[in-house]
Structures are given as C-alpha cells and as structure tokens.
Structure 1
C-alpha cells in the first residue's frame, strides 16, 4: 500500500473560487466560528510556511463550502 503525502496547499485557490474572498475576510469568518487565524497566518499557510491543524482545516472547509481534502493536494509515495 502506498503512503499518502501532504502536498501543495490549495487554500488560496479555494478562497479565490469563493467569490475571490480576501485573506482578511476569511480570517473574520473563521473568527465568527471561534477559530482564530490571523491574515498573517493565512498567508503563511498559503505559502507553505505553516500547515493547518485539524480544527483550522475543518473551519476553513466550512467557511469555503468545500471538503477538507479539497484544501491540500495529496500524493502517494
């Protein structure tokens, strides 16, 4: 069985598909759900400098109306 590997973050793409939502707007909507991710952290996530934890991943999927697996590419080794 091939192992899965976390690939490129697709958060920016999903934001843009969601009416071109800004990082600041995403941050505000996450805050309304009780998940605190600043615009700076969103930028770090989108550029691969930071990985979302499970709660952040779920909250982003709720706000962006997509599945959690739609926020990252996954590849097999």
Structure 2
C-alpha cells in the first residue's frame, strides 16, 4: 500500500531539524526505511516553510510509525 506522510517542523525546533536532517543522506534515509520494511517512493520539501511530504510503500503502516516516532519532537506528522 502507498502512504502519504506530510510534516510541518515546529518553528521553535527549525534549527534542530535543519541540523539533524541536513546531514542525513538519501542513502541513510533509504537504509533506515528499508530496515523497517518501508520503501521510499518520493519526497518533497519546502525548506522556507519547514514543510514537506513523503510517499512510501509498505504492507503495514505501523512500520512507518516506527520510523517516524523518532522525529516527533521536531515536527508535526500527519
């Protein structure tokens, strides 16, 4: 199944988010997702607004939740 994950970085955490995700390579992201059984289809960001979206594929959304849980202190995820 395909899932769309939208996010918005908390304004008070924008610097922390840019530091954390700015050093994260595409390969690292794909490896992290793959370790949880999630395939990255595509992702798009608007750095100025601190928002973005990601399309992933997995057979169980709880696998996505495991990956996203570590980012919840930096952003609102829907």
User: Shorter-chain-normalised TM-score: which range?
Assistant: 0.3 to 0.5
Q: Could you say which structure has the higher strand fraction?
A: 2
TM-score by length of 2: 0.41
